[in-house]
Structures are given as structure tokens and as C-alpha cells.
Amino acid sequence: VVQYNPTSNKQVGFFNVGNAISCIAISKDDQLLAIGERGQKPRITLWSIALNAIIITLSYHDHGVGTLAFSPNNRFLVSVGFKHDKRLALWDLNKMNINDLLTDLCNETPSASKNIDLESIKPVHERKLGNKVHCVTFCPRGTYFVTGGERHIKYWHLHLDKISGTCETLTGKSAMVITRLSESTFMDVLIASSYRETDVSGKESKHIEDVIYVASSDGILCSFWENGILDKWVTIETDT
């Protein structure tokens, strides 16, 4: 993976891993880079972008890592495997002592990762998937994320402890897709906030709610509300 500065028109960083790269994700504060691999014994390598150094390496998926996403507060990382892997994993970075590992790297002291049993590092939650997933993204609040793929749009809600912030449970619920879109393959997903007007007991109410935008491989752009209900869809395919 090459880090490029468009202002100076120069390469400013290079991140190398052992296997072929299948996906990457960058944390919201631009401090962390996660690289997913494909092939035998694929890994997820977590890097410090500023230090150009590996923080920790995770192993879980078979065949390859299909897509990755950080939560907005950088506490969680979600990873989804290839089609034949059919597994989703939620990692809690706080439980890996990431801040301590970063401090060691900054101070150039012997890395605490040498004292970590990598085999003992497991996702805090694991889920089986029925269809191939192409994309995943967190909502701005970090309380849920959405996955999209082959005949698949699903909301995953993190039920967080109010004091520790740990994810106690992870529950999934499919979006309500109309028949026209039921066989579509969804390739990308984006979550933004929007004002929504609702009529409650005869009174109009305006509040901020997330809107989930999903694009399909056959040129359809859909928007869903936070509750999984389809708002609208439009064909964006053009003549070539």
C-alpha cells in the first residue's frame, strides 16, 4: 500500500505485507491503517500511519478478508471474509492494548506485542453470513454498521455498556428491500445524516436521522432510513 501526498506529488509512505492485498481501511483520525490479505492464512495487519510501523497482526478469516471498517471512535474494527469464509468479526481494539503498543513504538522501546499471545486475540463477536458481502461502514455515532452484498443489506447494532463502552451483544436485522431489488448485488454503502419530517399525532416533527445510501452493481442507488425502511431508489446507469 502506497501513501501519496497529492499536494507535493510525492510518495510519503509504503506499507508492505506478506500476501496479496484484498482491502484496506483507514481510521477516522487518519492514525491507523488496517490491511486485509487474501490467500493462505490471510491476516489483518494494523499499522500506525505516522510511524509507518506494524502495531499488531490478527488472524481469523479463511481464504481472504473481503472488507474492513473502523468505528468513528477507533475502538472497534469490523472485518468480513470472502464468499466461502462467510464470517463477520467485530474486534475491540481497546482489549489489544493498542495505545500501549503505540507508546512503545513512539519511544522505540521493546514492543509490548512480544508479550501478547496472538493466538489468544479473538473477535468480541462473530457472526455467520449467508451471502457474499462487498461493503461495510459504520454510522457516524458508531452504534451500528451496515453491510451490503449479494441480495444483502443488513444493519448490525452494537449494544454498548454505558460505563465501559464494551459491546455486550451484536444483533443483525435485514433492511426492507422491495421485490425489484431483491436479487440485486450491493457494492458500496455510505451513511449520512439528514433532517426527516414525521407526522406524530397530527403534529409535524423534524429531527435528524441517518440515511443509508447503497449502490448496486446494476446501476441502482437506494436510500434507506435508520429503521431499515426503503426511502427511495433511482437508476443511475447511463448509456456508454
Give the ranges where 25-138 is alpha helix by DSSP (H): 98-107
Residue 97: burial class (beta carbons within 10 Å; 0-12, 13-18, 19+): middle
Q: 198 falls in which pLDDT band (50, 70, 90)?
A: low
Query: Residues near 207 by Cβ (< 8 Å), separated by ≥ 6?
Result: 195, 196, 198
pLDDT in tens, 154-184: 999 999 999 999 999 999 999 999 888 999 9
Q: What percent of the chain shows pLDDT beyond 90? A: 68
pLDDT in tens, 100-120: 787 777 776 655 444 455 556
CA–CA dist 185, 146 (Å, integer): 14
129: cell is 453470513
What does residue 129 show for φ and ψ, rounded to 5 degrees?
-115, 145
pLDDT at 115: 47
CA–CA dist 170, 150 (Å, integer): 21
Q: Round the CA-based radius of gyration of the chain to a whole number and report it.
A: 19
Report yes or no: 204 and 196 within 8 Å, Cβ to Cβ. no
Query: Residues near 143 by Cβ (< 8 Å), separated by ≥ 6?
Result: 157, 158, 160
CA triplet 221, 222, 226: central angle to 5 degrees? 145
| pTM of this structure | 0.87
pLDDT in tens, 221-239: 999 999 999 999 999 876 6
Query: Residues near 148 by Cβ (< 8 Å), separated by ≥ 6?
Result: 133, 134, 135, 136, 154, 186, 187, 188, 189, 214
